[in-house]
Structure 1
Amino acid sequence: MGNVSAGIRIDSISYDPTYIEPGNEVTIYAKFHNSPVSRTAKSPPSTEDGLAKPIMDDSTIFYKTILEPASDLSERYVIIEDSKKNVGHLFTGETWTTPFDIKISESAITANYRMRFSVIQTDEEGSYEEIARTYEFEIPVKSSVVFDVDSENRLRLGTTGNIVINISNRGGDARDVVVELTLNTPFTPATTSSKYVGDLEGDETRSVEFSVAVDSDAEPKTYSIPVMITYIDDNGNSVSVEKDIGVKVEAEPDIGVALDESDRFTRGIKGKVTINFINEGFVDAKFLKVRLLPSDDYEILSTGESYIGNLDSDDSETETFEIRINRNTSIGRIPLEIELSYKSSSSDLTITKREKIYITVLSETEYADEQQSGMDIISFIMGMVVFIPVIIVIYIVLWFVYKVVGLFTGYLNKRLFNKR
């Protein structure tokens, strides 16, 4: 009788269906056989019940099969229903096919998923396990291009800013990708509204940036902007996909301050300062409060806080404060710090900021000279007020005398010429 040794050989790996997409259920067929590898003697095969019986077959050897992921990507996206299958005993030369049912995750990307098929040798009780043969193969998964668009943009009213769009390809490869914004009022492209991205592979993300101008008369709110993505798919077809992004247009009142008028000041002297508050922004301000902040340079004699209320865009209001310059204040320009608190007409967010204006503190000599100059001017004006009526009276008197003399002279001439 001959002596024959055998070994496991993998014949083929097949799958059904052959075109696999994310979400598909697939059956993997692993075909293998117990192949004779050597013979030490030649003899005719023995028979049993008239059938040929394998030579020196070891009936104590049993087999089982295992299918498992061979990569992190496969571990993540391939679901195996039953990864271990019992085969039993295989005679020398016998062939066996083991089916495995798997499912490709709905979120799987286009890729080749590496798997490992193993034939395990054991005994009938399963008291030991040895790997008889291992074979790795790939499952090609194809998918349609799936774009995700992520964009969080804020633009200010009446300005030019950038819209940034993050485009992620969660599906198959896309070639010659072009991204185009459909811009309508109140948006205008500052450069171009279409950008060429190039090829975008599965699980790849690119950022696209557009420069956009916002009309100054736009309404502050969130606008929806259509985004058209055009690409070439695996079959060479041009495909267009439309997405939408949100762009928030924001606007705030811009309250400026300016010195409207001021009394002359020196140390120890009180006076009034009138401040002009101007809304230079594109939207109205609500609940405007202004406060003159304390300082070591002056003492606030009037109410330091004033409520203006609403201040329309391109409008202004004035407020007057009375102060006294402290004795130790330096000569020259000193700041008056103003705190402003208000809300935008399009938001409940309170805006608080501080601004400074400057007044001039004169020396005592300069202040006295200006006061004297002012008194001289007042005296001159008062003198003119008195002098002008006197001139008018003198003029009237002279005019009256002139008329009387004229009448008297005419009378005399008539009398003299009539006697002749």
Structure 2
Amino acid sequence: MKGEENMKTMNKTMILALVAMILLGAMQATAMTKFADVQVTMIQQSPDPVNPGDVVEVKFRIENNGSNTANNAKVRLGIGYPFTIYADTVLEKELGELPYTDGGDASVVKSWKLLVDPDAMTGTESVDVWFQINNQGWIKAGSYDVNIRSSNPFLAINKIESDPERIVPGTTTKVSFFLENRAGDDLKDITLTLTTYSEITTAAGVTVQELPFTAIRSGNEKSLSRIAKGKSNAITFDLFTDADADSKLYKVPFTLEYSDSAGNEYTRTGIIGLLVDSTPELTVYVDASEAQSAGSKGDVTIKFVNKGFSDMKFLDVELKETSDFKLLSTPQVYIGKLDSDDYETADYTIRIASEAKEQIMLPIHIDYRNANGELYTSELQLPLKLYSAEELKQNENSGSGWTIAIIVLIVCVAAFFIYRRWKKGKKR
């Protein structure tokens, strides 16, 4: 019984001693913080702002504004995502004795290098600074902001496509811009504007030249609300090309505007090339021929008609001799330019072989370039119908009959008017 009482007394003594030690430590910590007033100030972030994926150095000034020296002082940086320590940087640093300022400058500067995660978002992230005095508990000095922002929030135009690639006058074409967000953050309020006119600066001033394109089914401005980081999207315009548009490469200005999550706005301008072109439509045929029968000689006229939208340049033709005819003139004829909806002719002198049948073929080689300089080559076989002596005679008789009929008609009309004038004169 007595032993139990001694045990209880001993336990109470131990509890009281433990409580006394805790109270003493608390009193010491209170005394320390009371007389050693440590203040921490962030004095620099380099660079400011820092890019995701880069290293940032943060510097702090640590000073004792109390009335007593802070002995065995330490400072520690508390970090979380998106920061990690860089290289051999340590988070906890020794300060030793930190004397009170007493009106002087007794501050200490400490710095840390941190690596920012490449996927960090634009904005501010905080780090914490803690201090300890004389091996007492750690005390938080405060939280401090680090500014993170990509210095080049790049919205890339990966490619521009027109469908079809060759724009035909008088048709509608889809022009698509493929955008990719290469920034370290989401990009928003994306607006793409096509300018359907161009400004030409001359000595006399600025001249506005209208381009042959009109945005249909929507305006010439389109927008996207957001493109997430690392994602892509497309903006497509429907453009109608004027039917009378010249075949050539047109330079179309565009403006791309967007902003990042911090509200910073960005504008880019550029020029896209749209190729207006169409496949040439060249029609070639024998327009007239004096050589119409076997063994005959005469001039043959070949007509070249440009039925396409595109002008033709450097048109060069060559007639190739065969066993059915002998070429008596220069085989090659250079025509040059042949405008859209126009024609030119080439004349050759030939002698048809006496053994030729009802029809011979005239082989002709053609070279030309379209308005955009693309080379076209073709080999054609042009039919030339031949007539027998009897058929030619019938044609001549038929032609003579018509000629006589026309002459008789003219004589009759003239006689009628002469008679009327004579009759009027007689009445007077």
Superposition TM-score, scaled by structure 1 size: 0.50
1:245 aligns with 2:271: yes
1:163 aligns with 2:187: no
2:423 equivalent in structure 1: none
1:353 aligns with 2:388: no
Matched residue SS, 1:369:
helix
Map residues 3-402 of structure 1 onto 2, 5 A cutoff: 20-22=50-52, 25-27=55-57, 83-84=87-88, 99-100=112-113, 102=115, 142-143=149-150, 145-149=153-157, 150-151=159-160, 155-156=166-167, 158-160=169-171, 161-171=173-183, 172-175=185-188, 177-184=190-197, 185-186=210-211, 187-192=213-218, 193-197=220-224, 199-218=226-245, 222-229=249-256, 233-235=260-262, 241-251=267-277, 255-263=282-290, 265=292, 269-281=296-308, 284-295=311-322, 298-324=325-351, 331=358, 335-343=361-369, 349=373, 351-354=375-378, 356=380, 358-362=382-386, 367-377=388-398
% same residue: 25
| Per-residue deviation, residues 367-395 of structure 1 (Å, max 9, x unmatched) | 2331231354477689x69x99xx99xx9
Amino acid at match of 2:196: L
Q: How many residues align?
A: 286
Q: 1:370 to 1:249 in 2, by over 3 A?
A: same
Amino acid at match of 1:370: E
Using the alignment, how far apart are the partners of 2:154 and 2:400 within structure 1?
89
- The structure with the larger Rg is 1
Using the alignment, how far apart are the partners of 1:83 and 1:330 within structure 2?
96
CA apart distance, 1:98: 10
Amino acid at match of 2:327: I
Q: 1:79 to 1:377 in 2, by over 3 A?
A: farther
Cα contact 1:227–1:245 (8 A) shared by 2: yes
Cα contact 1:155–1:214 (8 A) shared by 2: no
Using the alignment, how far apart are the partners of 2:312 and 2:148 within structure 1?
59
CA apart distance, 1:286: 3.9
Amino acid at match of 2:330: T
Amino acid at match of 1:258: Y
Cα contact 2:188–2:224 (8 A) shared by 1: no
1:131 equivalent in structure 2: none
Matched residue SS, 2:393:
helix
Cα contact 1:263–1:272 (8 A) shared by 2: yes
| Per-residue deviation, residues 281-325 of structure 1 (Å, max 9, x unmatched) | 556544332212445655434322112234344432211223455
Cα contact 1:228–1:240 (8 A) shared by 2: no
Cα contact 2:291–2:350 (8 A) shared by 1: no
Matched residue SS, 1:373:
helix
State the superposition RMSD in angstroms. Answer: 5.2
Using the alignment, how far apart are the partners of 1:328 and 1:141 within structure 2?
93
Which stretches in structure 2 are left out of the alignment for 5+ residues?
A: 1-43, 60-81, 95-109, 123-145, 198-209, 416-428
CA apart distance, 1:217: 4.8
